[in-house]
Amino acid sequence: MFVIKCPYCGERDQTEFSCHGESHIARPENPNEVGDVEWGKYLFFRSNPKGMHYERWTHDHGCRRWFNVQRHTVTDKIMQTYKMGQPKPKGIND
Amino acid sequence: MINRNRLFSGGLIDRNILIKFKFNGKPLQGYQGDTLASALLANDIHLVGRSFKYHRPRGILTSGSEEPNALVQLGKGAETEPNARATEIELYDGLEASSQNCWPSVNHDIGALNNLFSRILPAGFYYKTFMWPPSMWMFYEYFIRRAAGLGEAPKEKNPSRYEQKFFYCDVTVVGAGVNGLTAALTAARAGASVLLVDEKPELGGYLLNAKSRINNLDTKKWIKDTVKELMALENVTVLNRTAATGYYDYNYVTALQKITNHLPNSLSKQPRERFWRIRSKEVILAQGAFERPLVFSGNDRPGIMMASSAQTYVNQYGVLPGNAVTLFTNNDHAYSVAVDLISKGAKVIIVDIRSNISEKIRKLCEQNKIETYISHAVIKTDGSKKISSITVQELSEDKQSFVGEAVTIGTDLLLMSGGWNPAVQLFSQSRGKLKYDDQISSFIPDVLVDNQAVIGSNNGDFNLKQSLMSSYEAGLGAAHRTGNKQEVENFINDANEPIEFITAEVVPYVLGSKPVTHGSKHFIDFQNDVTAADIFLAQREGYVSVEHTKRYTTTGMATDQGKTSNVNALALMSHIQQKPVGDVGHTTFRPPYVPQTFGAIAGRNVDQYFDPQRLTAIHEWHIDNGAVFEDVGQWKRPYFYPKKVETMTEAVNRECIAARASVGILDASTLGKIDIQGPDAAKFLNLIYTNAWSKLEIGACRYGLMCNEHGMVFDDGVTTRLGENHYHMTTTTGGAARVMSWLEEFLQTEWLDMKVYCTSVTEQWTVLSICGPNSRKLLASLTEDDISNEELPYMRMKEAKVCGVDARIFRISFTGELSFEINVSARYGRYVWDKVIEAGKKFNITPYGTETMHVLRAEKGFIIVGQDTDGSATPSDLNMDWIVSKKKEDFLGKRSFLRPDTAKNGRKQLVGLLINDKKTVVPEGSHIVEEVSKQPPMKMEGHITSSYFSPTLGHPIAMAMLKNGKARNGDLVKIPLMNGKVVEATVTENVFYDKAGARQND
Ligand SMILES: [Zn+2]
């Protein structure tokens, strides 16, 4: 069970949070102008890396805010957490 | 002396407190401080149980939590505990225990016939034999289950109370042996908050029983002083009888504390066990090591024991388990055990498998008059219920053949010492990496995880002085890293053990009188009856990966998780595969470290506390009026209100007719309600819902459908504009939390610049839904405000006072009747409800539950998301194209309507069905098939989503998802039922009643 640092509340147990998959997948600006392949990528395709992963979490039993987590999928080490809207950090071991 | 094998003095037991207990019904006595195992040995009882597969007689192998053999059924009735280790059960007055896995008794066990047939019961036997034919498996299984199995689970509900505790500290030390004590005291003196846990009642670990010295003190005295100081420190929490069971990410450790298990009165007010969830900044593992059995023929008889355990029974419990003792060893350390036993009057012979012993050991034997057989092996043991003799023979230099004659020696206690295996289970759970150490021939910690230390023999460090120094360093380091920087002087000046464990000469298996693969019983895993022959067989049959060998032979898979067996299995695999043990690898260690009760894991989250119950303000009234409840998520909702002799069908029919004839009332408080405010609220709703919201007037209500990005319907409800930038959204009862998260997700992650605020207000409002032709008359009698059709038409909301209480009245309808949903503050909910019921009497007001609501809405063809939809239906599939805006540029799900799969022909679409026989109510979930054949499979073209008897219409109605349904009005479809009957139905539109909507609009 992780300890996760909510950018708004600080360190809390993982039981207070839930994970919502890969982050930095923007909804296409104008969906109507997007072809089926690209739309399909937005809907279904995720990177699933062995290594650094950027993912969305919510502090459900806390401030209910969404934020980003940079986590190593092999060690489960959380490198950092950062607020929504902030750019994807340049990973050290990306 | 009351016990035959009890020494007159010595040990930590209290000879003044006599304890009476029963084993297999026989009354026995022991002393305060005994375990069940030590008390049985004191009474010269060695035969404790029967083994799992061959039902061989088994005794007590160890003195700790690693015990594989001496498992007993503890206690009776609801509190009985199966597979309890006799070595871990503290004796208390009135204790009752019995042997397991034997019938009719441990002395005469019918299953022992398996032993005679063991040649045909090798590893994988069950898989090979009982897999064919498949239809016979049920038959075989019946006998296997009866023959196998260990203890019996209690059949009644567990009456004990269990608790949980969350705990946070700087440093957790697992294991209170001398190294754990040193680390804990150092960290504590440096100012850290320290938690020290140990599974035993007595702190001190193995050296409580050895003749070692620390700082020129007898170890026992040093332990006593150190524990005393620790107990007195305010920043230290010491938990005995507490086994760390799991070690997870980020130094999260779980531990099981036994609180009343050792007390006679189980009705104590204390909880039975407490489950600790510990999060500490640093973890220090000091769990020690397990002595390793030797793999020789017949190494499992009662009266065969680990050498160090015999030492514990002698020194801690004052029990000498045998008098004519043979000690079989491959290392120096075991010689100290011999010395201890001799000092208590035993005669000890040592069989040492090594070709040479050191001068120091030779002298020790001379001094103590120990007869030694060097370069010899125990090749055979005899004795039916207890060992009576052993056979030894000299080995060649390479240990591969015999030299000289076999000698048989009378023995009533055979001790074995195969070296020591560090207890690396928890370390490995924490994702620490192990490496094989050639000197001690076992696995030791190699790569640590963050903020962790492993000390003492747990780390493969068997030199007492050095390990104590390292423990001091570890304690200091942990304290410093957690910001506790007080100076602590090194308080370990000197320490020594009479004979240290340095190295062992490991032999993968000892030659026996028969070849190891042919009928000999070289046990590796005692509890699961896995022999060396089984490991050979697994390698021969290709199960060479360590994970495969484990599963094929079941070695290491019993309740002891292979604490005594794993390394021996790996050493043998390494021998067979001709590669180093380190390359064979090891299986993954998983929690729990020791068996752990489900009760403790559940804690107080049982019965009504298992899951929260959500109750409306009207709940008591529903109970008083005989409601039958249904669970909708966590909500308790009235299902129907049967009158005295009514069946459910009768009650629902009555409720339906009453609602259509006069007035019905429904507690709709559970409906999800979200308050939405902000200048961008309208823009936001336009993106969330499929229809247009920009032009909705203040005070107007609108039905909306929500889709996910795949274009599939996922919730619906009515949203009302309360003000310029203020909306009141309703959702399905079950979908409220999901919708709230959905809204927040897009506001927080996608449209960050939108100014919209969402607040869940579900619990804040009590919703009374009254419907029926007399509902306006009823409401008019309770309010002075104008609620006429002109002032409050269909799909409008009005703020008014109802029974003097501020209310929002919504003219919306889920039943097709004239209907008002009266929302009042939940704290006035019951008050208003009572007033409405009172005033409604003259209209025969009838409360109705969710079933009637479902029937009424089905008569009107209204869908229920989650019942008529399953996450794969678009609005178009539901015949709801009318609610999808053609004008809007974008909304969630829109783009996916154009995906080839979503837009294709032949999708299932919602239809109504009229059952041709006008009487069968088809079960929901029934399939519609293209062609009926005698038996499945039949080609399916749809399924029934809703099906009821309509009291209003006098015949059954149904809705279904049917392939190409929209184009099939008037078609005949066939629905085969489970009972073989085939029901025919006619496709129709899905509105069955008041198609024009005159009743609700009136
Ligand atoms: Zn937070």
Give the CATH number, domain containing residue A59: 3.30.2270.10
Instruction: Kindly list the residues from chain A whose CB atom is less than 8 angstroms away from the CB atom of residue B895.
Output: 28, 31-32, 34, 39
Two tokens at B11?
A: 């040990």
Q: What is the pTM of this model?
A: 0.91
Place of tokens 């602590």: B488
Would A92 be classed as within a structural domain?
A: no
Instruction: Kindly list the residues from chain A whose CB atom is less than 8 angstroms away from the CB atom of residue B279.
Output: 3, 13
Specify the pLDDT at position B588: 85
How far away, in angstroms, is B275 Cα from ligand 1 center? 27
Q: How many domains does chain A have?
A: 1
CB B496 within 8 A of CB B212: yes
Sorted by where each begins, the domain ranges of chain B are: 14-125, 162-289+422-496, 293-418, 509-599, 903-994
Nearest residue in chain A measured CA to CA from B745: A66
The identity of residue B528, as a single letter, is: N
Tell me the H-state helices in B444-554: 464-481, 532-540, 546-553
The Cα of B450 is separated from the nearest Cα of chain A by a number of Å equal to 10
Would A88 be classed as within a structural domain?
A: no
Instruction: Kindly list the residues from chain A whose CB atom is less than 8 angstroms away from the CB atom of residue B250.
Output: 1-3
Residue B608, judged by CB atoms within 10 A of its CB (0-12, 13-18, 19+), counts as exposed
Q: Which CATH number fits domain B293-418: 3.40.50.10210, 3.50.50.60, 3.40.50.360, 1.10.3720.10?
A: 3.50.50.60
How far away, in angstroms, is A20 Cα from ligand 1 center? 15
Radius of gyration of chain B (CA): 38
Q: CA–CA separation, B510 vs B378, rounded Å?
A: 8
DSSP string, B684-714: HHHHHBSS--TTPPTTBEEEEEEE-TTS-EE
| Preferred mutation among A27, A32, A77, A81 to probe B, highest tally of B CBs within 10 A | A27
Residue B101, judged by CB atoms within 10 A of its CB (0-12, 13-18, 19+), counts as buried
Nearest residue in chain B measured CA to CA from A65: B748
Element (H or E) spanning B779, and its range? helix B775-780
Residue B48: Cβ within 10 Å count:
28
CB B198 within 8 A of CB B242: yes
Share of chain B above pLDDT 90, in %: 86
Two tokens at B235?
A: 């920043």
| CATH code linked to domain B162-289+422-496 | 3.50.50.60
Residues of chain B whose beta carbon is less than 8 angstroms from a beta carbon of chain A are: 248-250, 252, 279, 431, 450, 709-710, 741, 744-745, 748-750, 752, 889-890, 894-896, 898-900
Check CB contact under 8 Å for A66 and B745. Answer: yes
Q: Is A13 on the interface with B (CB under 8 A)?
A: yes
Would A93 be classed as within a structural domain?
A: no
Nearest residue in chain B measured CA to CA from A63: B744
Instruction: Kindly list the residues from chain B whose CB atom is less than 8 angstroms away from the CB atom of residue A66.
Output: 744-745, 748-749
Does CATH place domain B903-994 in 3.30.365.10? Answer: no
Would A72 be classed as within a structural domain?
A: yes
The β-bridge partners of B702 are B719
Specify the pLDDT at position B121: 62
Q: CA–CA separation, B820 vs B818, rounded Å?
A: 7
CATH architecture of B14-125: Roll (3.10)
Would A56 be classed as within a structural domain?
A: yes
Q: CA–CA separation, B948 vs B389, rounded Å?
A: 79
Alpha-carbon torsion B24, B63, B317, B303, what sign?
Answer: positive
Read off the pLDDT of residues A31-62 as tens digits, 9 standing for 90 and up.
999 999 999 999 999 999 999 999 999 999 99
Place of tokens 């703020």: B799
Check CB contact under 8 Å for A65 and B899. Answer: no
Check CB contact under 8 Å for A58 and B741. Answer: yes
Specify the pLDDT at position B149: 55
Nearest beta carbon to residue A31 from set B749, B752, B894 = B894
Check CB contact under 8 Å for A30 and B279. Answer: no
Q: Is A85 on the interface with B (CB under 8 A)?
A: yes
Q: CA–CA separation, B883 vs B874, rounded Å?
A: 11
- What residues contact B108, with CB distance under 8 A and at least 6 apart? none
Closest C-alpha among B556, B558, B589 to residue B570: B556
Residue B154, judged by CB atoms within 10 A of its CB (0-12, 13-18, 19+), counts as middle
CB B805 within 8 A of CB B832: yes
| Preferred mutation among B433, B601, B708, B748 to probe A, highest tally of A CBs within 10 A | B748
The Cα of B128 is separated from the nearest Cα of chain A by a number of Å equal to 37
The Cα of A90 is separated from the nearest Cα of chain B by a number of Å equal to 20
Specify the pLDDT at position B118: 62
Q: Is A45 on the interface with B (CB under 8 A)?
A: no
Residue B365, judged by CB atoms within 10 A of its CB (0-12, 13-18, 19+), counts as buried
Specify the pLDDT at position B934: 87
What is the domain extent for residue A18? 3-26+45-83
Would A74 be classed as within a structural domain?
A: yes
Two tokens at A57?
A: 């979490």
Q: CA–CA separation, B422 vs B436, rounded Å?
A: 11
Check CB contact under 8 Å for B895 and A40. Answer: no
Instruction: State yes or no: pLDDT of A2 exceeds 70.
Output: yes
How far away, in angstroms, is B450 Cα from ligand 1 center? 25
The Cα of B883 is separated from the nearest Cα of chain A by a number of Å equal to 19
The β-bridge partners of B402 are B395
Q: CA–CA separation, B687 vs B525, rounded Å?
A: 64
Read off the pLDDT of residues B804-842 as tens digits, 9 standing for 90 and up.
999 999 999 999 999 999 999 999 999 999 999 999 999
Place of tokens 């409050």: B792
Specify the pLDDT at position B516: 85
Check CB contact under 8 Å for B890 and A85. Answer: no
Regions in chain B scoring below 70 on pLDDT: 1, 103-104, 110-149, 265-268
Closest C-alpha among B238, B163, B225, B226 to residue B193: B238
Please give the angle made by the CA atoms of B40, B107 and B323, to the nearest 5 degrees.
45
Could you give the maximum distance between any two Cα atoms of chain B, in Å? 116
Would A39 be classed as within a structural domain?
A: no
Check CB contact under 8 Å for A84 and B248. Answer: no
Element (H or E) spanning B38, and its range? helix B36-42
How far away, in angstroms, is B102 Cα from ligand 1 center? 56
The Cα of B748 is separated from the nearest Cα of chain A by a number of Å equal to 6
Specify the pLDDT at position B46: 96
CB B918 within 8 A of CB B931: no
ipTM of the complex: 0.96
Place of tokens 């670990």: B205
Two tokens at B388?
A: 């009576």
Q: Top-level CATH class of B509-599?
A: mainly alpha
Instruction: Kindly list the residues from chain A whose CB atom is less than 8 angstroms away from the CB atom of residue B898.
Output: 36
Two tokens at B511?
A: 């030659």
Do the domains spanning B162-289+422-496 and B293-418 agree at the CATH topology level?
A: yes
Check CB contact under 8 Å for B248 and A85. Answer: no
Q: Is A35 on the interface with B (CB under 8 A)?
A: no
